[in-house]
Amino acid sequence: MTDHQVHALPNGIRILLKHSPSPITHCCFVVNAGSRDEPEGKEGLAHFIEHLLFKETEKRNTSQILNRLELVGADLNAYTTKEYTCVHASLLRQHLERTIDLFEDILFHSTFPQEELEKERGVILDEIASYLDQPEEAIQDDFEEMLFSGHPLGKNILGTKESVSALSRTDIHHFISVNYNTHEMVFAVIGDHQPEKVIKLAEKYFGHIPENHKPKKRHKPHAVVAQKLMVERPIAQTHCIIGNRAYPAAHRHKTGLLLLNNLLGGIGMSNRLNLEIREKYGIAYTIESTYVPLSDTGIFSIYFGTDVEKAAKAEKLVHKELKKLRDNKLGTLQLHQAKQKFTGQIALAEENRIGLVISMAKSLLDFNYVDTLAEIFAKIDAVTSEQLLEISNEIFDAGLTTLVFEPKG
């Protein structure tokens, strides 16, 4: 039994509603278009468009856009990933129509005036410069460039100074016409609303949007050779990231790798990497692992930052933990505890309603289906120690890509 409803408009835009007895409503509009869809040389375009959506429309100026929700105490924001563009808001339930009206306006009637374009170009160039000053952030992008060398997935979402400086209104309109496919758009709501009312509002504001059903042309990344790269930077500590390509979102082992990642370096202080490297040896203040499944591939990585003289030992200890998972099956109690911890964290994460509504919208885009919490728990419960051993030997193998930022001198 589902805990949500889905309604498709004739133009292909889908409406997703999950009831929640709360005075607060959370909603998002997700478009299946991100940085991997940018043409060669146009890196940063999807992110540039996301910024410009808040600048001017056919009927509102920047101030009117920003004040439309803030004047009633609501929160409006947006972000871009390698595969998605998302606009989201949190608001009192009585302001849902006001929010839908604004979403429709900025997403489908933005005018991208040249003056605003130049101002925002400067903002993003400053963002790029600021980002490069943060090695813990920059190393992730440089690592992904190694992992997907020569492929759009390896490009920085922000773009480069050169690419952003050259972006034009023509580039913006072309990207939108090609990638803003109405059949790959979801408007999702969590709140105390009657489904009929939400659908009626969606039909009123989104029903007239012309259908755009151009097929998505995404190319699967080609194989690359694992490598280790040491780079000198004007920094005080050593930063290191170790990882590999991983399973795509629809892979049968996705749930198993999510479970393994949580056991190894996920949320909390009791994961294996934190206990072994930070708590036991006091080496790294920050050490964590992440697994990001994408539509046709995935990214698994372990990151840590530490003092120069401790970096080699920290890296050795990381590989030791990975070898344990490759060589030994989890015992019955270990597996039970890992599942119990993971399911508890997922249940708590449902309290983050804006994160939940975005996650549900993305699931509908990717699979045309949204798992209930019970279905998610059942998938986790079905994972076996044999499967985790197989996953460990596929993903945590000896041929991992490694990137190290070292202090100069």
Over residues 293-340, the pLDDT tens digits come to: 999 999 999 999 999 999 999 999 999 999 999 999 999 999 999 999
For 276, the token pair is 């072994």
DSSP 265-280: H-SSS-SHHIIIIIII
Do the domains spanning 5-206 and 228-407 agree at the CATH topology level? Answer: yes
pTM of the model: 0.94
Over residues 35-61, the pLDDT tens digits come to: 999 999 999 999 999 999 999 999 999
Residue 1 has pLDDT above 70, yes or no: no
| CB-facing half-sphere around the CA of 63: CA atoms within 13 A | 0
Over residues 205-251, the pLDDT tens digits come to: 999 999 998 888 899 999 889 999 999 999 999 999 999 999 999 99
Q: Domain residues of the chain, as ranges?
A: 5-206, 228-407
* Residues 6+ away with beta carbon under 8 Å from 210: 11, 182
User: In this prediction, what percent of the chain has a pLDDT beyond 90?
Assistant: 91
User: In this prediction, what percent of the chain has a pLDDT beyond 70?
Assistant: 99
Residue 132 has pLDDT above 80, yes or no: no
CA 83 vs CA 15, 95, 138, 302, 333: distances in Å: 20, 29, 19, 22, 38
CA 133 vs CA 79, 139, 262, 336, 355: distances in Å: 21, 11, 29, 42, 28
Predicted local confidence at residue 78, as pLDDT: 97
Over residues 267-283, the pLDDT tens digits come to: 988 899 999 999 998 89
**Phi, psi at 310, each rounded to 5°:** -105, -10
From CA 307, how far away is CA 15, in angstroms rounded? 50
From CA 23, how far away is CA 72, in angstroms rounded? 14
Average pLDDT over residues 123-133: 89
* CATH of segment(s) 228-407: 3.30.830.10
Helix axes 332-349, 385-395, angle to 10 degrees: 80
Name the fold adopted by 5-206. Cytochrome Bc1 Complex; Chain A, domain 1 (3.30.830)
Residue 2 has pLDDT above 80, yes or no: no
pLDDT-based confidence at residue 133 (cuts at 50, 70, 90): confident
From CA 173, how far away is CA 177, in angstroms rounded? 6
- What single letter denotes the amino acid at residue 300? F
Q: How far is CA 124 from the centre of its chain?
A: 19
Predicted local confidence at residue 217, as pLDDT: 84
